[in-house]
């Protein structure tokens, strides 16, 4: 894991030297490195830049959500938040790094549903979600949508359930790779319906969605972030959203409960974490700032464009977040074990 820190340091160095000199004027995050070390009294937190580690690539949905809330959170805290992408192995590289970081409140992790699936997927995980982190609060629950190629026969979710049961040997279910949200949702769908389908893995959402739009595969379940554009343009057919509420940007798409498959509840939930041992008042400050950010009209509008919404204020707390994490760890341990899935790494 040493190499990861070196990678970060050097990436930052290259970016700083090569680019920031060129673009300082327009850069939102120019000189990024903090002074390091000195944090005695927490009463004056924050005294230096806070780093939000995103364990996925820049520009991805999780990264986007992080950058949205970073600005209003920084304003509330009266400091500066720097977003850093530490990619690799389904988010476990970045999470592991934060687990081992100094618990001083200056290193914070944004992670999604992958926090709860990693223990079941990765045998050699070098951190424990419940033991190595303080939960700060939930951020958003990005709904998933069940979508199909536009000429796929079933027209409603009920039809789909009947159809896949009758044609289990013909139907193909795409996903964006082992452990991806689309893979997890697909597993849950098969459990809910009680059928085993032929899964077709792709390397990422892009190629999977391309083949779905092109009619090469039958259906998949993916985040609204990825599917909204294709659904509104009529390139794919949407059966349902997997959350209790409908999604504003897709008003005509029913929820799974409305459409008769209430067992299928899944969202790509995001939460903020600090390393275990971070002072409680610092966690409280972060949680407070999170609540303020989630009530920010600009954040609400930006999230709406992604087909999601901030969680209600009572979920943006350490307690609600921990409860969700515990519940999800249990759910996924079972679903993943039943399906016999392992991400070797």
Partner 1 sequence: MDLLNDLALGFSTALAIQNILYCFVGVLLGTAVGVLPGIGPTATVAMLLPITFSFEPVTALIMLAGIYYGAQYGGSTTAILINLPGESSAAVTALDGHAMARQGRAGAALAAAAIGSFIAGTVATVVLAVAAPPLARVALQFGPAEYFSLVLLGLIVSIALARGTALKALAMIALGVLLGTVGQDIYTGTPRFVFDRRELYGGIDFVSVAVGMFGVAEILRNLENEQASTAITSRVRNLWPTREDWRRMAGPIARATGLGSALGVLPGGGHVLASFTSYAVEKRISKRPQEFGNGAIEGVAGPESANNAAAQTSFIPLLTLGLPAHPVMALMVGAFIVHGITPGPNVITDEPALFWGLIASMWIGNVLLVLLNLPLIGLWVRMLRIPYKVLFPMIILFAAIGTYSLSFNAYDVYTIVFFGILGYILIKCGCEPAPLLLGFVLGPLLEENMRRALIISRGDATVFLTRPISAVLLVLAVAALVLAVLPAIRKRREVVFTEEE
Nearer Cβ to partner 1, position 37 or 340?
340
Q: Does 31 bind partner 1 (CB under 8 A)?
A: no
Which one of 57-65, 137-145, 181-189, 282-290 is the stretch in contact with partner 1 (CB under 8 A)? 57-65
Q: Does 204 bind partner 1 (CB under 8 A)?
A: yes
Mode of pairing for the β-strands spanning 81-85 and 50-54? parallel
Q: Does 306 bind partner 1 (CB under 8 A)?
A: yes
The residue within the footprint of partner 1, chosen from 131, 233, 251, 297 (CB under 8 A), is 233
Nearer Cβ to partner 1, position 1 or 284?
1
The residue within the footprint of partner 1, chosen from 1, 17, 58, 295 (CB under 8 A), is 58
Question: Who's near 303: CB < 8 A, 6+ residues apart?
Answer: 65, 68, 140, 309, 310
Can you tell me the distance from the alpha carbon of 117 to that of 111, in angstroms, rounded to the nearest whole number?
A: 11
Q: Phi/psi of residue 141, each to 5°?
A: -120, 100
The residue within the footprint of partner 1, chosen from 3, 21, 35, 38 (CB under 8 A), is 3
Strand partners, 271: 111, 138
The residue within the footprint of partner 1, chosen from 75, 130, 168, 200 (CB under 8 A), is 200
Nearer Cβ to partner 1, position 130 or 195?
195
How many residues touch partner 1 under the rule CB under 8 A: the total is: 61
**CB contact at 8 A, 152 and 235:** no
- List the one residue out of 148, 155, 175, 144 whose CA is nearest residue 264: 144
Can you tell me the distance from the alpha carbon of 28 to that of 67, in angstroms, rounded to the nearest whole number?
A: 11
Q: Does 343 bind partner 1 (CB under 8 A)?
A: yes
- List the one residue out of 141, 345, 135, 145 whose CA is nearest residue 253: 145
Least Å from the CB of residue 30 to partner 1? 9
Q: Rounded to the nearest 10 degrees, how much is the dihedral formed by the CA atoms of 138, 139, 141, 142?
A: -150
**Binding pattern to partner 1, positions 144-183, x when CB under 8 A?**
-------------------------xx-x----xx-----
Q: What is the DSSP letter of 291?
A: H
Rg (CA), the chain: 21
**Binding pattern to partner 1, positions 81-120, x when CB under 8 A?**
--x-x-----------------------------------
The residue within the footprint of partner 1, chosen from 34, 79, 201, 244 (CB under 8 A), is 201
- List the one residue out of 270, 281, 272 whose CA is nearest residue 104: 281
Can you tell me the distance from the alpha carbon of 41 to that of 43, in angstroms, rounded to the nearest whole number?
A: 5
Residue ranges in contact with partner 1 by CB under 8 A: 3, 6-7, 10-11, 14-15, 19-20, 22-23, 26-29, 57-61, 63-64, 67, 83, 85, 169-170, 172, 177-178, 198, 200-204, 206-207, 209-211, 213-217, 225, 228-230, 232-233, 235, 249, 302, 305-306, 342-345
């Amino acid at each position: 894991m040493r190499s990861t820190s070196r990678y970060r340091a050097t990436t930052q160095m290259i970016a700083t030297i090569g680019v920031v000199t060129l673009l300082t004027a327009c850069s939102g995050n120019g000189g990024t490195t903090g002074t390091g070390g000195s944090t005695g009294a927490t009463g004056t937190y924050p005294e230096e830049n806070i780093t939000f580690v995103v364990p996925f690539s820049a520009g991805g949905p999780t990264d986007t959500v992080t950058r949205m809330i970073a600005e209003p959170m920084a304003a509330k805290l009266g400091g500066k938040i720097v977003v850093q992408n530490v990619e690799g192995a389904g988010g476990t590289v970045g999470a592991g790094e934060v687990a081992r970081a100094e618990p001083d409140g200056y290193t914070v992790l944004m992670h999604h549903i992958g926090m709860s699936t990693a223990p079941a997927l990765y045998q050699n995980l070098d951190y424990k979600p419940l033991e190595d982190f303080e939960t700060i609060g939930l951020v958003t629950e990005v709904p998933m949508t069940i979508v199909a190629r536009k000429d796929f026969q079933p027209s409603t979710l009920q039809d789909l359930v009947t159809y896949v049961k009758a044609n289990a040997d013909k139907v193909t279910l795409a996903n964006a790779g082992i452990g991806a949200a689309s893979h997890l949702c697909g597993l849950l769908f098969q459990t809910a319906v009680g059928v085993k389908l032929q899964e077709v893995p792709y390397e990422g959402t892009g190629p999977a969605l391309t083949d779905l739009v092109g009619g090469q595969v039958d259906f998949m379940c993916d985040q609204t972030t990825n599917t909204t554009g294709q659904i509104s343009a009529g390139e794919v057919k949407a059966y349902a959203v997997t959350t209790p509420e409908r999604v504003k940007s897709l008003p005509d798409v029913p929820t799974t409960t409305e459409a008769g498959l209430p067992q299928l509840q899944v969202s790509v939930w995001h939460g903020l974490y600090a390393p275990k041992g971070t002072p409680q008042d610092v966690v409280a400050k972060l949680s407070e700032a999170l609540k303020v950010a989630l009530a920010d009209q600009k954040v609400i509008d930006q999230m709406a464009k992604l087909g999601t919404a901030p969680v209600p204020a009572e979920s943006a707390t350490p307690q609600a977040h921990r409860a969700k994490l515990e519940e999800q760890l249990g759910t996924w341990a079972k679903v993943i074990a039943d399906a016999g899935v392992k991400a070797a790494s």
